[in-house]
Amino acid sequence: MRHDERHSIEKIGWLRAAVLGANDGIISTASLVLGVAAAHAAHGSILLTGVTGLAAGAMAMATGEYVSVHSQADSEKAALAEESAEIAADFDSEHRELTAIYVGRGLDFPLAKQVAAKLMAHDALGAHARDELGIFSGAIARPFQAACASASSFIVGAILPLTVAVIAPETHLIPAVATAALISLAILGGLAAKTGGAKILPGVIRVTFWSVLAMGVTSSVGAMFGAAI
């Protein structure tokens, strides 16, 4: 028998990286553009800042995500290697340990012992990885996949406010970029919540609130230093 049912939680790895990248791309690029525009910089300087922020942000997201997820993957591999050695050294003790885990989850001792024996006969390391270490095959850390998802989604997100900054009149650049960024972020928050199986409205409110705060702070800093200069 095959188990073909799919759940939203299985998407959490790539979804987290993609949403984080797109959010950061929109927020950071829009904030940079708004901050420089609030300082009364020339239109060319605003666009150069946005493009430079896109390149630097994409590389930073990819690097940070790769290092972070690779560390997680290394920890998982070390834990699996240690567990494999323990199973090879004392199979009976590991069987008792797995039995105790199932008893703790509500099975009677005879049934827990039988389940542990069956699972260990089928895949001892897989059973301990899943039920003792909490490592599931569908959620194993994939550094390169996470890095690519973060970088590409950051670029896609950053292109949105940059495009608006290119086509918007200079006199309306700040409200145009801010409005476009907030609408994009609200849509992204809703899509991410729907894809992950969560409630849409809280996701939209959460991302919109923090985005307004980020862009407001950056614009205030730009206006303050622009006036000082």
* Confidence at residue 179, expressed as pLDDT on a 0 to 100 scale: 92
Q: Would you say residue 105 lies in a domain?
A: no
* Confidence at residue 29, expressed as pLDDT on a 0 to 100 scale: 93
- Cα(18)–Cα(152) distance, rounded to whole angstroms? 8
Give the torsion sign (CA, 67, 70, 72, 78).
negative
For the beta carbon of residue 97, count every other beta carbon within 10 angstroms. 16
Q: Would you say residue 210 lies in a domain?
A: yes
Range of the domain at 179: 12-85+141-228
State the angle between helix axes of 43-89 and 12-38 in degrees (0 to 180), rounded to the nearest 10.
160
Residues whose CB is less than 8 angstroms from the CB of residue 177 and which lie 6 or more positions away in sequence, other chains included: 30, 33, 34, 37, 161, 164, 165, 168
Closest CA to 151 of 49, 83, 31, 54: 54
Domain count, the chain: 1
Q: Record the pTM.
A: 0.67
Q: Give me the residues of the chain with pLDDT under 70, please.
A: 1-17, 136-141, 195-196, 226-229
**H helix or E strand, kind and range, residue 2:** none
Give the torsion sign (CA, 25, 30, 31, 32).
positive
Q: Would you say residue 123 lies in a domain?
A: no
* Confidence at residue 216, expressed as pLDDT on a 0 to 100 scale: 87
Closest CA to 77 of 11, 123, 125: 125
* Confidence at residue 69, expressed as pLDDT on a 0 to 100 scale: 81
* Confidence at residue 2, expressed as pLDDT on a 0 to 100 scale: 46
* Confidence at residue 228, expressed as pLDDT on a 0 to 100 scale: 47
Find how far residue 98's CA is from the centre of its chain.
32
Q: 76-103 pLDDT, tens per residue?
A: 888 889 889 988 898 899 899 889 999 9
Q: Would you say residue 109 lies in a domain?
A: no
Inter-CA distances, 27 with 159, 179, 209, Å: 11, 12, 12
Q: 4-19 pLDDT, tens per residue?
A: 445 444 445 556 667 7
Q: Would you say residue 52 lies in a domain?
A: yes
